[in-house]
């Protein structure tokens, strides 16, 4: 975190990244003094509602964040920012998104939690777009022009007003991660699930944190065992509604590679679930994507996998994902960072924040998720010094641009 005082004093000269959060209601002109070096500008958590028209003076700018401000329209100031590839306006009040205001270089667009009812037809010109976050708006449809966004890999559409999910989405050659729960067209499954009183739990340390909630270790006096509690951060998350995530968890029958749900919490102001406690010997298989990888997970530099380890993880996750799709549920976030493994490569697939129920009679979304599985295989195989023709072939066919060529999870041969 930087300060306005540092900026004005010249201490930030030569900076490639600055972050200012001081309840600003104006754009500090001193930022332009960093034009020759500034690549990442983060002015989130301020009171901004306009940006200077000459923002293109920041010629090196690649990433710009303006989350949690007061914008009511997406500013028409980015068109000439030729190196800009990532824009974030999460949690503003944006109702207007005009035609032809974004540079064609955009690959990552974040407009979560705004008031958009429509998108411009010109969004279809963003053919480099890989990641598009639109959850928590008021969208009633998607422009058909988006069918030209052939590099789109991840899109979040949950918690909108969509009457249908357009069929052209399923034909996008690289689409792998899709979420659309919490729309009028969505299927919602309510589960009559066991409740447990929050006050009977002895809460201990934090085990982890994701986009939708925080997971704690706890001890249940009633069950006489350790458990995990997932407390949701709010009713709406970056992936959709918390209640939809809860229903996804509670609607799925037990599977050895899925974390068991014990109960939903009662007597706590926030929504929460009681989950099976996974021992600390289990760690995340990978880390989330970063600015450079955009849609693809990252791994520690020392990470290496044997072919046997890859095969064991792949078989388990394919089994879990197939089980979900048998229940007409798409995970929506099938990634290494949502998989827990131990030293024996036993694994669990977790985090149902992007999960969506669907009607197989309208569209079978399984083969979209199969491409995400192919990306997982691709990432793991790239970190192995060994080769395996069968796994390489499976990876290639799962990632085929022709969705009809991809196998179902139940058809995969390891």
* Domains contained in the chain, CATH given: 195-276 (3.30.200.20), 283-411 (1.10.510.10)
pLDDT on residue 197: 86
| Per-residue pLDDT reduced to its tens digit, 193-224 | 788 888 889 999 999 887 778 999 999 988 99
SS3 306: coil
Q: Are 167 and 363 in contact (CB under 8 A)?
A: yes
383: its two tokens: 């970190």
How is 193-236 classified by DSSP, letter by letter?
--EEEGGGEEEEEEEEE-SSEEEEEEEETTTTEEEEEEEES-SB
List the chain residues with pLDDT less than 70: 190-191, 267-269
How far is residue 219 CA from its own chain's centroid? 30
Q: 47-86: per-residue pLDDT in tens?
A: 999 999 999 999 999 999 999 999 999 999 999 999 999 9
272 in Cβ contact with 228 (< 8 Å): no
Sign of the CA dihedral 268, 271, 277, 279?
A: negative
Buried b (16+ CB within 10 A) or exposed e, 361-383: eebbbbbbbbbbbbbbbebbbee
Helix (H, G, I), strand (E, B), or coil: what is residue 255? coil
Tokens, residue 354: 């992007």
The pTM is what? 0.94
**3-class DSSP state of 274:** strand
Q: 382: Cβ–Cβ under 8 A, 6 or more apart, which residues? A: none
Q: What is the mean pLDDT of the chain?
A: 94
**Distance (Å, whole) CA 296 – CA 292:** 9
Residues ≥6 apart with Cβ < 8 Å to 363: 165, 167, 170
């Amino acid at each position: 975190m930087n300060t306005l005082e540092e900026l004005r004093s010249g201490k930030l000269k030569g900076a490639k990244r600055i972050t200012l959060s001081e309840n600003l209601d104006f754009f500090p002109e001193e930022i332009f003094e960093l034009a020759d070096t500034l690549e990442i500008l983060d002015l989130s958590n301020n009171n901004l509602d306009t940006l200077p028209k000459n923002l293109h003076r920041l010629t090196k700018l690649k990433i710009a964040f303006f989350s949690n401000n007061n914008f009511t329209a997406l500013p028409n100031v980015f068109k000439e920012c030729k190196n800009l590839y990532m824009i974030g306006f999460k949690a503003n009040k944006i109702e207007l998104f005009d035609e032809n205001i974004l540079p064609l270089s955009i690959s990552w667009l974040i407009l979560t939690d705004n008031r958009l009812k429509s998108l411009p037809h010109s969004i279809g010109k963003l053919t480099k777009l890989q990641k598009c976050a639109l959850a928590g708006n008021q969208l009633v449809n998607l422009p058909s022009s988006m069918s030209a966004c052939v590099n789109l890999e991840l899109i979040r559409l949950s918690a909108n007003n969509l009457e249908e999910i357009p069929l052209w989405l399923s034909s996008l050659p690289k689409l792998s991660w899709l979420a659309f729960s919490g729309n009028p067209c969505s299927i919602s499954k309510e589960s009559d699930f066991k409740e447990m009183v929050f006050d009977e739990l002895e809460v201990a340390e934090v085990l982890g944190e994701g986009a939708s909630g925080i997971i704690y270790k706890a001890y249940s006096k009633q069950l006489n065992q350790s458990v995990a509690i997932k407390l949701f951060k709010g009713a709406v998350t970056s992936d959709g509604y918390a209640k939809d995530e809860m229903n996804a968890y509670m609607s799925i029958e037990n599977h050895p590679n899925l974390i068991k749900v014990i109960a939903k919490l009662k007597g706590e102001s926030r929504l929460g679930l009681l989950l099976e406690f996974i021992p600390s010997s289990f760690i995340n298989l990978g880390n989330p994507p970063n600015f450079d990888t955009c849609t693809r997970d990252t791994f520690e530099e020392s990470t290496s996998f044997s072919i046997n380890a890859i095969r064991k993880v792949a078989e388990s996750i394919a089994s879990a994902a197939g089980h979900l799709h048998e229940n007409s549920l798409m995970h929506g976030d099938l990634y290494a960072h949502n998989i827990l493994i131990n030293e024996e490569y036993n694994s669990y697939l977790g985090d149902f924040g992007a999960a969506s129920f669907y009607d197989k009679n309208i569209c079978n979304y399984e083969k979209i998720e199969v491409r995400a599985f192919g990306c997982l295989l691709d990432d793991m195989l790239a970190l192995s010094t060994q080769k395996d023709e069968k796994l390489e072939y499976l990876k290639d066919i799962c990632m085929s641009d022709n969705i009809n060529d991809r196998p179902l999870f139940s058809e995969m041969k390891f």
